[in-house]
Amino acid sequence: MMRCPACAALFPEAFPAPAVVTHAYAGYYTARAARGGWRGWLRGVIDRWRRPYLRRHLPAGARRVLDYGCGSGAYLTAVNKEGPGRETFGTDLGGPPAETGSYRWLESSEVATAAPFDWITLGHVLEHLADPAEVIAGLARRLAPGGGLWIATPNSESLLFRAAGSWARDVDFPRHREIFSRRGLDRLVGDAGLSARFVSPPRLNAALNAASTIVNMLRDPAAGRWIRLRAAAGVCTALAAHCLSPRKARDQTAPELIAICRAPTKP
């Protein structure tokens, strides 16, 4: 991974060929149905602690909601369970899931004709895109007056990149093409005519990402056992320091960036 000297974003030294990327998404977790049994129960317990984040800070007045990169459609399905009164739409470069539930599936070419939308969400989508600037600019034009864009994406200045290097969960090559910094994401949405307000991610998310990173370490046969164990201990120490830090410092090193983007209000 290379680091941009201007904005501190991370990107691979060489981008993969399209055929490699297509193969890398076979069986990707976003297209899978939710698990049942004890894992489903545990996920439910964890998710109750993260409800505002999982709702993607959806405003009560948002009536037309688009999830760009909807995967299995789990987010839209959950939104629709809250009650009637909303029109929900989903699109994904990987094609529609087997069942679209109560939301309307859109091909990429249909997004413009279905607009405007009150709330557009991109939950860990931006880092996968070949041209994120073009996508954000296009979606900004599809917002209704007063509407907003919700973005969650990995943070290139995360404690995990510092503590774990290439073992960090969000390296995820070849699927992740760019890991944004706060400065880089702010500039990206600014170029699309939007202003970003950054929201603190749940501290529990940092623990979940750290756990995935430690799994990556322990499963890596290329490194010696004691090297991996020392690295895992370093991640645990960094996570503890992160969780005990003041909020401002914690936001700078969180594994995620969460931005709510809106068009500036006219004077």
The pLDDT tens digits for 98-109 are 776 789 999 999
| Residue 16, pLDDT score | 79
The pLDDT tens digits for 10-53 are 998 888 787 777 777 776 666 555 556 766 667 667 777 788 89
- Give the whole-angstrom CA distance, residue 17 versus residue 187: 28
pTM for this prediction: 0.90
- What single DSSP character describes residue 57? T
- 34 compared with 164, residue with greater pLDDT: 164
In the structure encoding, which two tokens stand for residue 246, read together? 């003041």
- Give the whole-angstrom CA distance, residue 54 versus residue 81: 14
Helices 182-191 & 132-140, crossing angle to 10 degrees?
A: 50
